[in-house]
């Protein structure tokens, strides 16, 4: 197998490519309308990890725990 450079992959990454890859992997995903609408209100961000041993990405949500600016 050809060695994959994760930095090159991250440069080519876009939300539409991520969505298409997830749908190709998982098939159909049913998302309730309220979950979709509330997603923009949640304080979370997408975390992407790359495992070079199996040349695979892991996607997960992580909550932002930023402290408010007191200035």
Under the banding of pLDDT at 50, 70 and 90, the label for residue 38 is confident
Write down the domain spans for the chain: 6-63
Rounded (10°) CA dihedral 50, 17, 63, 55: -10
pTM, entire model: 0.64
Under the banding of pLDDT at 50, 70 and 90, the label for residue 28 is very high
């Amino acid at each position: 197998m050809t060695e994959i450079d994760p930095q090159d992959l991250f440069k080519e990454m876009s939300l539409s490519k991520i969505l298409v890859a997830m749908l190709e992997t998982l098939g159909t995903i049913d998302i309730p309308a309220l979950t979709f609408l509330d997603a923009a209100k949640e304080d979370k961000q997408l975390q992407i990890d790359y495992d070079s041993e199996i040349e695979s990405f892991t996607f997960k949500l992580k909550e932002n725990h930023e402290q408010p600016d007191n200035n």
